Amino acid sequence: MQVGKPILYSYFRSSCSWRVRIALALKNIDYETVAINLTKDGGQQFSEEFQALNPMKQVPALKIDGITIGQSLAIIEYLEETRPTPRLLPRDPKKRAQVRMVSDLIASGIQPLQNLSVLKQVGQENQLTWAQQAITSGFNGSRWTSPPTLPSATSTSHCWPWRPSTCLTPVGSQIHPLS
């Protein structure tokens, strides 16, 4: 199916791109990266070339197996279905539903509130405080979810934490940014 390496269209500060990079690394998938700078020249995602690739004008986008997939969780689901080892989702349907719930909460309920397009509307002076409040509120809202029991170190079903972690790690970094 795949001719050459998969190509990930990504921005280094994009939490959505970050979660795909984490999943690709966990699955040991070798890939090429094409940087799409979301701030340079008014945003390279608005170029005609990138719009032809992803009409949503968002990163990430992954070219793989002759198709282009946008949206990080759709990409991760595709990788899980086409490259099932190592597993990112548990086999048990109830546990899988819990993992998807936490992942969706983060990807849909927390992360969009700290996107560049949203933060521009808030104003430069309020961005950090507003994003931190939105993220903290989302984390507090996720407390009612109880994750499945973590397996022992010798268990082979070690996958459950990885899918939510692909969502959680990038968003958590926005609470206390490095720069």
- The tens digit of pLDDT for each residue in 65-120 reads 999 999 999 999 999 999 999 999 888 999 888 888 888 888 777 766 666 677 77
Q: How confident is the model at residue 169 (pLDDT cuts 50, 70, 90)?
A: low
* pLDDT for 9 beyond 90: yes
Please check the confidence at residue 162 and state whether its pLDDT lies above 70. no
Share of the chain above pLDDT 70, in %: 73
pLDDT in tens, 132-150: 777 777 777 665 555 444 4
Calculate mean pLDDT across residues 43-66.
Answer: 93
- Other CB atoms within 10 A of residue 41 CB: 8
- 3-state SS track over 108-163: HHHHHHHCHHHHHHHCHHHHHHHHHHHHHHHHHHHHHCCCCCCCCCCCCCCCCCHH
Counting other chains too, the contacts that 145-153 makes at CB distance below 8 Å and 24 or more residues apart are 145/98, 145/101, 145/102, 145/105, 146/98, 147/98, 147/99, 147/102, 148/90, 148/92, 148/94, 148/95, 148/98, 148/99
Of residues 14 and 173, more confidence is placed in: 14
Residue 16 has pLDDT above 60, yes or no: yes
Q: Residue 34 pLDDT more than 70? A: yes
- pLDDT, residue 74, reads 95
34-38, 83-87, 151-155: lowest mean pLDDT where? 151-155
Per-residue model confidence (pLDDT) at position 59:
93
At residue 39, the pLDDT reads: 87
